[in-house]
């Protein structure tokens, strides 16, 4: 089943550390709504990251506060906290969502740069058999046909957005402005939070 029509009314799960949330995340979510029939984009911050557990700067509570503020203008974007105490594994998270919300359809947003390692993800057989993937093309990342042939998926023709949390943290650490990279109403809050973090690390 690789048809977008099967996602009519579905909830697209956009996971990540959101350390911090930025205009790239919001722009991607807008494109997902424009290019697919999903009803909502669910921002799902992880309490711990399986691939970079020691790199988080802000606490889960602080990151959620920023996400909540950033999503205020968007009625079809929602913040869910189901990954606040989870294992950090996508399969565990999605199994929990299926159990908690049996009346809803879900799909999972994944960058094409993560597809090459998808078969090594925890409980890949369950992901392969039960989850629909919305694939976001990443510059320079090929689409591995061996993986695509196994999973339910659609590739969305999204426009690249050149902004990252790493870039924002670097600018703040170096005392530079992040204007235009995060929602205007969050610029001061995010800058102050990360400056406090870096000052404590000195």
Q: What is the pLDDT of residues 60-85, one digit of tens each?
A: 999 999 999 999 999 999 999 999 88
pLDDT of residue 56: 76
User: What is the average pLDDT across 117-129?
Assistant: 97
Helices (H) and strands (E) in the chain, counts: 7, 6
Residue 52 has pLDDT above 80, yes or no: no
First CA to last CA distance, the chain: 52
* Residue bearing tokens 């050149």: 162
pLDDT of residue 47: 83
- Hey, is 57 helix, strand or coil? coil
- Hey, is 150 helix, strand or coil? coil
Q: With pLDDT > 90 as the criterion, what percentage of the chain qualifies?
A: 82
Q: Is the pTM of this model over 0.85?
A: yes
Q: What is the pLDDT of residues 128-172, one digit of tens each?
A: 999 999 999 998 898 999 999 999 999 999 998 899 999 999 999
- Hey, is 188 helix, strand or coil? helix
């Amino acid at each position: 089943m690789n048809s977008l029509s099967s996602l009519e009314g579905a909830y697209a799960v956009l996971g990540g550390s959101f350390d911090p949330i930025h205009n790239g995340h919001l722009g991607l979510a807008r494109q997902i709504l424009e290019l697919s029939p999903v009803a909502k984009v669910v921002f799902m911050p992880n309490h711990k990251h399986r691939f970079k557990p020691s790199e988080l700067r802000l606490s889960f509570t602080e990151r959620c506060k920023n996400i909540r503020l950033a999503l205020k203008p968007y009625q079809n974007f929602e913040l869910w906290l189901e990954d606040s105490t989870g294992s950090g594994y996508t399969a565990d998270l999605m199994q929990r969502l299926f159990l908690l919300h049996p009346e809803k359809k879900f799909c999972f947003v994944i960058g094409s740069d993560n597809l090459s390692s998808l078969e090594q993800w925890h409980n890949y057989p369950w992901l392969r058999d039960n989850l629909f993937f919305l694939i976001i093309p990443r510059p320079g990342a090929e689409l591995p046909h061996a993986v695509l042939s196994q999973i339910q998926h659609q590739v969305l023709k999204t426009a690249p957005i050149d902004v990252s949390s790493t870039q924002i943290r670097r600018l703040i650490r170096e005392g530079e402005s992040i204007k235009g990279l995060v929602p205007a109403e969050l610029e001061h809050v995010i800058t102050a939070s990360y400056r406090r973090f870096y000052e404590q690390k000195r």
